[in-house]
Structures are given as structure tokens and as C-alpha cells.
Structure 1
Amino acid sequence: MKLRKYTKTENSWVMYDWANSAYSIVITTAVFPLFFKSVATDAGIESNVSTAYLGYTIAIATFILAMIGPILGTIADYKGLKKKFFFAFFLIGSVSTMSLAFVPEGLWLPLLIIYAITAVGFHGANIFYDAFLVDVTAEEKMDEVSARGFGLGYIGGAIPFILSIALILLAEKGIIPIPMVIATKMAFVITGIWWFVFTIPMLKNVIQIHSIEREPNLLAGSFRRLGNTFKEIKKYRTVFIFLLAYFFYIDGVGTIISMSTAYGTDLGISATNLLIILLATQLVAAPFAIIYGKLAYKFSVKTMLYVGIFVYVIICIYAFFMTSTMDFWILAMLVATSQGGIQALSRSYFAQLVPKEKSNEFFGFYNIFGKFAAVMGPLLVGVTAQLTGSSAYGVFSLVILFIIGGILLRMVPKPQSELV
């Protein structure tokens, strides 16, 4: 296959994956969960209970976004509003991420509250970022551009992650004269700054192409259009079947991403080993995400989504029997092969199915299905952890979600770009 050249607009859009992936690895997956677990332990909270609290916080933040996502998306479909909404949520997310560094020591509840705000900003901005895919590239390039975003995102996320790990380890060994707590908090500041700076190309060079003309009362018009979409649901049957499939399989993906570090801590894996494993996962995941995009052209998007779902079924089964650091290494490498690919191709597949002028509205639904799934998964793991005293049963139960998602995906026809 010939190498493709990317436009300035495509590259600027891709750079946001580079920018916000720092949040995904440092805040969602690695440093923050470990920091919170440490603060909670010092406050006398048992390990499995603090894991449950983290799960509940993720569930609350994602529930808020699930409620407002379609409404915000519908409003943002009006001409000139998509970027304004994107900017507002991006700013909330990046600033609140830096604010984590200023929470007084030992206060685990305020830490969770600000973490929830960062999650609202991060995921809210992604509604509009994902919807911009229809504005930045042609339909036949969406799979590759989306996958390239995830691939570069893993590299972009790895750089501030490496800086954060270096600070924490140097502080732990006394090589630099600062406490580990301060070093960890500096990681939050680095992440917020990285996110802010590398979003600038997106703000400068990406514009809304597909839109709907504004009405005198935008809010009333948005609710009316949202209602019409529900009334015409048969017209968009393909879109909603895909969303139902996505709801199930992305639940498992998101839960494994957000809860993996806490789960590893419960298994007794040291913080240092967890950070190193997660860094290796980032580096391995980068080329695999791009490979998924390339293979989608050869074998079809759906085929590669099936591959990702199958890999995650194996991951959930293996996680149930995991007992050692080596097991966690194996699990992490399995995740690295498919984590970015399944997310990137889901995003581009959906973008090819929806009407472009209503992309924000439909990506609002994409968000609500993804976020309701993200409520269910962490709650499942959290409740199971408290009831059984082990998170392993909760992880294993995710298998059924991947199976249901795969079955529903079979009912979705190929996007138009694969039929020509």
C-alpha cells in the first residue's frame, strides 16, 4: 500500500491525540490511581474499598457526561459552535488536571472530586474532537487518520509519562531533594501543560465544515432536532445497532484501561513495576494502533474490530488467573496489541455511518453509549471487589460484554467506503 500524505488539517487534528493522551496514561491509568491509593491507605481505607471508591468516582463523572452529551452535541452542530464547545471542555480538563497538584496532603475526597472534574473536561472535549473527524479528512481516509491519531497519541502520552516516572523515581531514591509526594504532584502539572500546549494546532487549524444553520432559539431547536432523531430512529437503524454493539465491547475496554493500575496494586505489584509496565504498553501500543488502521483497508474495519474483541476476551480470561508481575507483563502486552486499534476503528467506523452535518449530535450518542458503558464496568468491578474481596471476578465477568458486542456487530452492514 502506498504511503499517504497528510494535510495540515489532518496533522493538526491528530496532534490533539498527541496532546490529550498524556491525561489518559498519567491521570486515568497510572500515576493518579497509584497516588490516590497511597493517600487512601494513609487515611486508613482498605485497598479493595479504595479501588471501589475510584470506580464509583469514574462512574459518577461518566454518568454526568452521558446525560449531557447528546444535548451538547446537538447544539454544537450549529454553525461555528463545535470548536467553542471543544475549547470550553478542553480548558476545564487541562486546568483541573494541574489543580490536582494543589490539593492538601491527606485529603482523599477533594482529590476524587477534582479528578471527576478532570474526567468531565477530558471526555467532554473528546465528543467534539471525535466529531471533527468528518471535517478534517475524506471518508476513505478516516480509518487511517483515526488510527494514526491513536498511534501518535501513545507516543505523545509516553513522553510526559517518562518525565513523570523519572521525577518520581529520582525523588524516591533521594537523587533529587524533593519528597515523592511533590514529585508526583509535579506530574499532574506536567500533564496539564502538555495537554494545553499541543492542543494549539487543533485550535488554530481545524474548522467546522459540516454544520446546520443557526436558529433564533438554539436550545429549543436542539431539543426539537434531538426529538426528531428519536422519531426517525428507523432511518438510522444501522447507526444505533452499531452503538449498541459498541456499548457492550467498549465497556470492557474502558474498564480495563481505567481500573488496571488499581487492580495491579491489589495483586501486590509494586508501584515501580506498574509504571514501567504501563510505559512499555504505551510504546508497544503505538505501532499496533497504526497497523490496525492499515489492516482495516486490507481486511475491512469490521474484521479488525472482531480481532480486537477476541484479543480482549483472552485478556479477561487471563486476568482472572493472574498472580504475578510476569502475568501482568503478559496481560499488558496483550492489551497493547489492540487497545488503540479497537478504539480508533470504532471512531472512524461510526464517523462513516453518520450524516456529516449532524456529526456532533451523533457523536453525542456515541459518547452517551460509551459513557453509560463506562458507568457499568467500573461499578461491576467495584461492587464485585467489595462483595468477594477480589477484583478478579469482576474482570472475568467482562467476557460476556465482549461476546455480546461481537454478536451485535455482525448485524451492522459495512460502511459505504468499503462498498466502493
Structure 2
Amino acid sequence: MTTPTVPADADAAGPTALDAAGPTSKRRILAWGMWDWGSQPFNTVITTFVFSVYITSESFGGTNATSTALAISTAVAGLFVALLAPVLGQNSDRTGRTVRNLRLQTWLLAGLSASLYVVRPDPAFLWVGLGLLAVGSVVSEIAGVNYNATIDQVATGRTVGRVSGFGWGMGYLGGILVLLALYFLLIQPEVGLFGVSDADGMDIRVSMLLCGLWTLVFTIPAFLVLRDRERPRLPRVGVAASYGLVWASIRGLWSTSRHTVYFLLASALFRDGLAGVFAFGAVLAAGTFGLSAGDVIVFGAAANIVAGFATMGFGLLDDRIGPKRVILISLGSLVVLGLAIFVLHDGGPTTFWVLGLLMTVFVGPAQAASRSFLARLIPEGKNGEIFGLYATTGRVVSFLSPAAFGAAIAIGALLTGEENTQYWGILGIVLILAAGFVVMLPVKEHGEHRVG
């Protein structure tokens, strides 16, 4: 009998965290997913649709000045995430206090969200608001690392795809629900809930208080079911030694599970493209397809609802055919649909609604499958560190989609001589997605290698 060939990247380091995971229940999965639901206002309401628009409005200074300030604060926050994520994730692993750290970071995020209430529409408050926003972004990302690290408490190797998809879908649905509630109850009416109006920015400021309350209340179920696990006590290490350990882990991955490194690089690339789809979707909707500001918000709501349910559905497919296939199907579909938007850019609002909603079907599944792909590889005791590296690699290339979007618009103006070549920007996003697709192709499926 011929001895089976062991893949070059295979490693006998022992079972992964998911291999060691015990059975769970739907109640626990629902409670775990509530953290995504509860923490989403920071991303949807504060970072994307409401506070970032408020802080860059004329009340805080000239458009160019406020937009530049926002870009600077966002870049600085991204740098801190890239530097801190793997080290803090490793610290959670070493101390065995992942859930405790997640709870403290969630409470801090709720407090930072509510503290944006103090940002009055006055240039003197510009950097106060941007500072709080930047710190909140760092806390949100680090909390996300610890949250991802808990997935082995509610999923097994057979269910991680649907669990990851469920959590991600809950985030989409929770975010859009709170956005619509705040918009129709506080922001859109002349006099809203509690007698709030737009005088002194109170509609936005009170919305920030409610975002903090939402996060505080709706993440409680997660902390009722998640528990820190007993682990051998490891000696404390300093900051410099922590970075040394992270570098040693990267070298270990390169020597024992090289395809995990390839996946981290590929996912960083295509995740940036996925972020670009949402980041510039509203810009294209208004500037190229003629949607009004109100129409953009309605489209955004529809897009998040579609993305939420599609992500949950694809999670079931993930467990059947594997996360790599889900990722490739999603990226391939997004490339085709992005090219269709470019070709049909003069089709008007209806064209954008159809093609735009079809694109949102595939964004969430690729993100959720990326998380489940990595979760299938991580051995016990390294969840925080590896998911920290996952966050870091994503931040390192986060400039690519904005740069490609802008460069494509400039190239379009040069080649066509048209005044508005914004629609060329979609080609930049398509390029990043296609590059991620190509880099992902040779990455081995989770059954073919281990993280060492």
C-alpha cells in the first residue's frame, strides 16, 4: 500500500482551536452574533453615514481642510491598529483573558461613541471630534480581533462557515436598523424624538448618545455566554519582547504553513477591494447615476439588508463547499458586475439599483468566508495573535482601493477628455478585486495545511 503524501505545508502541531471545540447551541450562536449587531453603530452610523459627514461639514471649516483632517486622523488610527493588533491579540492569548478584554473594549467603545455628543458644530471642536473618532476606530478594530478570537466557543469545524456568516449578517442588519431609526426619528424630522432639532447639531449629537447606549445594551447577550478559558499561566513580557514573539510567529508561519501567509496577503488585498465597494458606492450613485442624497440613504439601507441575508445564506454554502470557493465565487462575480457598471454607466438610477444590489450580494459572503477560512487554521492558544495579524495585514494595504479609484478617474479624464469620468473609478476597484482573486487561486484549502 502506498503511503499518502503529506502536503508540504502540513504541520503536526496538534488540533486547531475548532478541532478542539465542543458542541454548541443556536442560543449561544445567536448571543454571540449579538455582539456584531450591537457594535455595528460605530461602523455604520458614526464612521460611514452620519458622524463622518457631520465632522466634515462647513460648520467645522472649509471642505478641503476638514476632509484632509479626517484623512490624517484616519491614517494615524490605521497605523496604530497595524502596530497594536497582533501584540494585543497575543496578550489576550497569553493571559487567557480574551473575553474580559473584549468586554472592557466594548464598554470603552460605547463610552467613546456617546462622548461624541460633546462635539458641537464649531471649528474649535474639529480635532476633538476627530481625536475621539480615531481612538474609537482603534478600539473598535482591537475589539474585533478579540471577538473573532471567540468564534471557537460557538462553532466547530463543520459549522464555522454558517456561524461566521450569521454574525457578519447580524452586523449588517443591526447597523442599518439603528441608522434608519436615528434618521427617521431624529435627523430627518424638523423636530424629532425628545423634541430634538438640528439646532447646535443636537440631532447628530443625541444620535451619538443612542449609539453608545445601543452598543452597551445589545452586546450583553454575548457576554452572558462567552467565557475566558483556563490556560497555563505564562510570564508577562514587555512591549519589545511582544513584538519579538510576533515576528517569531510570522517566521514560524512562513516555515511551517506558508500558505497561511499567502492567505493573509491575498485576503488583505481583496478585503481592501471589498471595502472600496461600500466606500465608493454612494459616491458613484450620486455622481454618476444621479441618485439624490435621500435616494442614496434608501439604497444604502436596501444594500445592507440584502448583504445581511446573503451573507447568512452563503455561510451555509461555506460549510458545504469550503470558504475558498465562496471567496472566489464572490470575487469573480464582483469583478463581472463592476465591469458591467462601467459599461452601463449612462443607464441611470435603475441600472445602478439593479447592479449595485447584485454587488452587495457578494461583498459580505467574501468577508465572512475570509474569517471562517482563517478560523479553520488557528491552533488552540493563538486565536488573538493570528487574528491580530489578519487585522494588521488589512491595514497595511488599506490605501490601495482609494488610490486605484482616484488613479482610474484621472486616467479616464486623460483618455476621454470628458469632464466627469467618475465612473472610471469602478475600474480601480475591479482591479484590486481581480488581483485578490488571482493571488487567492494558488492558496491551499484549509484541509491541506495547518498553522504552526
Give TM-score scaled by structure 2 length: 0.81
Of 205, 218, 224, the residue aligned with 1:198 is 218
Deviation digits for residues 287-335 of structure 1, max 9, x if unmatched?
A: 1011111122333321111121123324543555646544543354123
Aligned to 1:288: 310
Partner amino acid, structure 2, of 1:28: T
More helix by share: 1
Aligned to 1:102: 118
Of 118, 138, 144, the residue aligned with 1:126 is 144
Aligned to 1:166: 184
Do 2:59 and 2:122's aligned partners in 1 also have CA atoms closer than 8 Å?
no
Do 1:210 and 1:357's aligned partners in 2 also have CA atoms closer than 8 Å?
no
Bigger-Rg structure (1/2): 2
Of 261, 281, 284, the residue aligned with 1:240 is 261
Of 244, 250, 253, the residue aligned with 2:274 is 253
Of stretches 277-286 and 152-161 in structure 1, the one that deviates more from structure 2 is 152-161
Aligned to 1:93: 109
For 2:134 and 2:409, how far apart are their aligned partners in 1? 21
- CA distance change for structure 1 residues 262 and 109 in 2, over 3 Å: closer, same or farther? farther
Partner amino acid, structure 1, of 2:213: I
Aligned to 2:392: 368
* Residue 34 of structure 2 corresponds to residue 15 of structure 1: yes
- CA distance change for structure 1 residues 96 and 380 in 2, over 3 Å: closer, same or farther? farther
- CA distance change for structure 1 residues 60 and 319 in 2, over 3 Å: closer, same or farther? farther
Q: Kindly report which structure 2 residues correspond to 1:201-280, keeping only aligned pairs within 5 A, or say none.
A: 201-209=221-229, 213-217=233-237, 219=239, 222-232=242-252, 233-261=254-282, 264=285, 269-280=291-302
Partner amino acid, structure 2, of 1:13: W
- Superposed displacement of residue 115, structure 1: 1.8
Q: Kindly report which structure 2 residues correspond to 1:109-188, keeping only aligned pairs within 5 A, or say none.
A: 109-168=127-186, 170-172=188-190, 178-180=196-198, 181-188=201-208
Of stretches 271-280 and 51-60 in structure 1, the one that deviates more from structure 2 is 51-60
- Percent sequence identity over matched residues? 23
Aligned to 1:310: 332
Deviation digits for residues 212-235 of structure 1, max 9, x if unmatched?
A: 632143656634432321332211
SS of the residue 2:397 aligns to? helix
Of 384, 390, 409, the residue aligned with 2:440 is 409
Of 302, 327, 347, the residue aligned with 2:371 is 347
For 1:260 and 1:129, how far apart are their aligned partners in 2? 28
Of 398, 414, 418, the residue aligned with 2:429 is 398
For 1:374 and 1:310, how far apart are their aligned partners in 2? 21
For 1:415 and 1:163, how far apart are their aligned partners in 2? 41
Of stretches 334-343 and 379-388 in structure 1, the one that deviates more from structure 2 is 379-388
- Superposed displacement of residue 349, structure 1: 0.7
Calculate the aligned-residue CA RMSD, in Å. Answer: 3.2
Of 100, 109, 117, the residue aligned with 1:84 is 100
- Superposed displacement of residue 380, structure 1: 5.0
- CA distance change for structure 1 residues 79 and 354 in 2, over 3 Å: closer, same or farther? same
- CA distance change for structure 1 residues 396 and 111 in 2, over 3 Å: closer, same or farther? farther
**Number of residues paired by the alignment?**
413
* Residue 77 of structure 2 corresponds to residue 61 of structure 1: yes
- CA distance change for structure 1 residues 296 and 245 in 2, over 3 Å: closer, same or farther? same
- Superposed displacement of residue 8, structure 1: 4.1
Deviation digits for residues 200-253 of structure 1, max 9, x if unmatched?
A: 222232123485632143656634432321332211212111111101100111
Aligned to 1:299: 321
Structure 1 portions without partners, runs of 5+:
none
Q: Following TM superposition, where does structure 1 have runs of at least 4 consecutive aligned residues deviating by more than 6 angstroms? A: 173-176, 382-390
For 2:102 and 2:381, how far apart are their aligned partners in 1? 17
SS of the residue 1:139 aligns to? coil
Partner amino acid, structure 1, of 2:212: G
- CA distance change for structure 1 residues 89 and 386 in 2, over 3 Å: closer, same or farther? farther
Partner amino acid, structure 2, of 1:340: G
Of stretches 304-313 and 65-74 in structure 1, the one that deviates more from structure 2 is 304-313
- Superposed displacement of residue 339, structure 1: 2.1
Aligned to 2:5: none
- CA distance change for structure 1 residues 376 and 151 in 2, over 3 Å: closer, same or farther? same
